[in-house]
Amino acid sequence: MPLEEFLGQAPYALGQAAKAEKILPEFLRLTAGHYDRCPPYRRILDGLGTDLAAVRGAADLPFLPVSLFKRLDLLSVAQDEVVKTLTSSGTTGQAVSKIFLDRRTAANQQKVLARLVGDLLGPARRPLLVIDSPSVLKERRLFSARGAGILGFSIFGTDRAFALDDEMKLDAEALAVFLDKHQGRDLLLFGFTFMVWRHFFRELEQAGLKPDLSRAVLVHGGGWKKLAAEAVSPGEFKAALGRFGLTRIHDYYGLAEQTGAVHMECERGHLHASIFSDLIIRDPVTFAPQGFGRPGLVQTLSILPESYPGHSLLTEDEGVLLGEDDCPCGRRGKYFHILGRLKAAETRGCGDTYAAGLGSL
């Protein structure tokens, strides 16, 4: 089923069995296409002895470790077709992933992101406050996952403003101007988890400020590793921000290597795989798929990567499937929870890698 047909449906309308049947041909098409057009990918699949004719479901598809994008330039289009190169987050001294986007892939990522976030927020655009610094958007052709996230979510906002200055300090004046200008309107706040906590919540508290954010929705993502080290749980995070009247707070899970097909957190606190993606939890030793309630490595699949072989990736995150088709929020398909990074894995999330660069707090 072409992407246009997927876009014509609500993002969580299909039950898991129906979705699996419709999405598998797209995964097979992408695997075969990247095999033909990306020589390093072809060598990897040949080395694995991959037989696509034997694939019966998404769990049978070959996958790449996300760390491979730090070591190889993997692209399935000519270099002159690349319109944007996205780099993953990384602390000083770490290699970063490079993800090569052609015009079609970049456009499809935006279309799908609009469908997923629109399902959560509704169709109306809202004044947008970005909890980050404007300096992160300096280079548009080659920019970080932070910049890509800000630009991606900016399509849901109007009159964009930044809550932090170029030194990553709270810009209290800019915040006050923004809130005064849009008083009485529904607002959208977007930021990466650690930055929201460190540079927004904590600085507001230290300054004794208590802005009224009761008309706002906060969408945040980018990792919990640093906050876990500070013993800040998702529940405590939401409770703390609730002091400003924020009652609608939604996390999301996504990879720079699979931009667009993010997994949004519903009103019940569960992350969901949409009709554009799938998710498999694998045993970290045997790589066998795990059932509900059994933790393991997270494998994510997306139908969007056309210009690079990033459609089936094994992450360095640990997660657990909670169920499928029966989330109390009403969305169908798989829903899950991320438990955190593997202990031996590099810090990769946008907020986490930024935090790692700050040293101890």
- pLDDT above 50 for 354: no
Query: What is the average per-residue pLDDT within 40-52?
Result: 96
> Chain-wide mean pLDDT for the chain?
89
Structural domain tally of the chain? 1
φ/ψ (deg, to 5) at 300: -115, 145
Residue 290, pLDDT score: 97
Band (pLDDT 50/70/90 cuts) for residue 318 is very high
Treating both helix axes as pointing N-terminal to C-terminal, what angle do 39-48 and 16-37 enclose, rounded to 10 degrees?
Answer: 110
Higher pLDDT, 320 or 198: 320
**Cβ neighbours of residue 198 closer than 8 Å, sequence gap 6 or more:** 355, 358, 361
- pLDDT above 60 for 90: no
**Helix/strand/coil for 147:** helix
**Helix/strand/coil for 236:** helix
- pLDDT above 80 for 315: yes
- pLDDT above 70 for 85: yes
Nearest alpha carbon to residue 97 among 73, 120, 79: 73
CATH assignment of the domain containing 171: 3.40.50.12780
What range does the domain containing 279 cover? 3-358
